[in-house]
Amino acid sequence: MTITAAHTSEPILSVKNLSTSFFSDRGEVKAVRGVSFDVYPGEILGIVGESGSGKSITCMSVLRLLKANGRVLDGSAVFEGKDLTTLPSRQMRALRGNDISMIFQDPMTSLNPTLTVGEQIIETIRAHRQVSRADAAKRAIELFDLVKIPSPSKRLKSYPHEFSGGMRQRVMIAMALSCDPKLLVADEPTTALDVTIQRQVLQLLKELQSRLGMAVILITHDLGVIAEVTDRILVMYGGMVMETGRVADLFESPRHPYTQGLLKSIPDLSSGEHQRLSPIPGSPPDMLHPPAGCPFAPRCTHAMGICTEAVPQLYCAGDTPVLRAGQAARCWLHHADAPEVPEVNAREHEGAA
């Protein structure tokens, strides 16, 4: 699917047809339904979606950090030639925090309140590297320096509650970077922070990514964040990939009604005119009973009969001329027999926005 011409190298992570469900008393919650994507070395891939779209669960499935009632039912996630879904847990442990590390949404609750931040970083280093405590502490000081925490050697002995939210997220980032990961998964890293702090943390992430050359998966529901730092986007809805492509392409020429709806719901402050925000009416599907057709169909203004009956395939750049290189959209309107809806499938769509 999302074969991008721009990428000559092999993907560092290749997720294929991943399906994850949670089993509760009420039944099976199909959180992720056949998600596929690639992450290439040194790029930032953004995964966007509303809460419940399956974006976090996709990454938690890849890292095998699902809660006890969650199970990966199908698919594979190949990281450097190893399928993470079937890797023995000992080898999986050796990867986590080492080659693949993760930053979580809420730095208030993601750090252990009873251990010093230094200890929490040192134990990570020592879980993966044969180094003395003193050397690990030295490395931790370097890391604090790297994420711009002032007076690092002193702060190492502090407890999480002695830091502000932004500083705690820097601690989390330092911890995630402690073993020079090749892939960093950042799950809504700025959502729990103040707006002014969000920017700083985002800038830091971007800066560290280009300096250290690692690949980053950035999960967010904030399109502003996406526009600012990512190279490619994956738009998720109802546990599926709705549209994917390079950031510029998706912002300029979105080819899925959902992506278009998302973009219309961003306030445009630069235009100067008073504009009404147009939110997408309706609410996300109930994943206990996902719709048989396109999950977005009930909220889609262009929905046709087929949309509620069968899930469309992910149409790629070659299938229809409107999709740019590396772009793909899961919408029946890209089917050869679909009626023309100018803003979605017409080749020229000047009046769309």
Partner 1 sequence: MIGYIIRRLLMMIVTLFAIITLTFFLMHAVPGGPFTSEKQVLPEIQAALDAKYHLNDPIWLQYFNYLKGIAVLDLGPSFKYPGLTVNEMIVEGLPVTMKTGVLALLCVVALGVPLGIVAALFRNKWPDTLVMVFATIGVAIPSYVVATVTLYIFALRLGWVPTFGLDDWRGFILPVLALSGFWLAFIARLSRSSLLETLNEDYMTTAKAKGLHPMQVLFKHGLRNSLIPIVTVLGPVVANLLTGSFVIEQIFALPGIGRHFVLSITNRDYTTIMGITIFYAAFLMVMIFIVDMIYLALDPRIKLGKASS
The footprint of partner 1 (CB under 8 A) covers 63, 65, 67-68, 93-98, 101-102, 104, 106, 109-116, 123-124, 127-128, 159, 161, 172, 175
| Closest by CA position to 224, among listed 206, 205, 199, 243 | 199
Whether the CB-CB separation of 38 and 14 falls below 8 Å is answered with yes
**Phi then psi dihedrals of residue 192, to 5 deg:** -85, 5
Q: Of the two residues 89 and 271, which places its CB atom closer to partner 1 in the complex?
A: 89
Least distance (Å) from partner 1 to the CB of residue 262? Answer: 27
Q: Which is nearer to partner 1, 12 or 122 (CB)?
A: 122
Task: Kindly state the smallest distance separating residue 185's Cβ from partner 1, in Å.
Answer: 9
Q: Over the Cα atoms of the chain, what is R_g?
A: 21
For residues 168 and 256, which CB has a smaller minimum distance to partner 1 in the complex? 168
Q: Measured from the CB of residue 169, what is the shortest distance to partner 1 in angstroms?
A: 12
Instruction: Compute the least distance from the CB of residue 129 to partner 1, in Å.
Output: 11
Nearer to partner 1, 61 or 244 (CB): 61
Phi-psi region of 239 (alpha: psi -120 to 50; beta: other; left: phi over 0): left
Task: Give me the DSSP letters along 173-221.
Answer: HHHHTTT--SEEEEESTTTTS-HHHHHHHHHHHHHHHHHHT-EEEEEES
If we measure between CA atoms, which residue out of 25, 29, 86, 80 comes closest to residue 54?
Answer: 29
Please identify, using beta-carbon distances, which residue of 1 and 65 lies nearer to partner 1. 65
Closer CB to partner 1, residue 18 or residue 172? 172
Listed in sequence order, the residues at least 6 apart from 101 whose beta carbon sits closer than 8 Å to its beta carbon are 175, 176, 177, 178, 179, 181, 183, 184, 185
Work out how close the CB of 253 gets to partner 1 at its nearest, in angstroms, rounded to a whole number: 36
**Nearer residue to partner 1 within complex by CB, 142 or 309:** 142
Task: For tokens 């009420």, name the residue.
Answer: 26
CB of 131 to partner 1, least distance (A): 15
- Please report, in angstroms and rounded to a whole number, the separation of the first and last CA atoms in the chain: 27
How far apart are the C-alpha atoms of 186 and 191, rounded to whole Å?
A: 11
Minimum separation from the CB atom of position 183 to partner 1 (A): 12
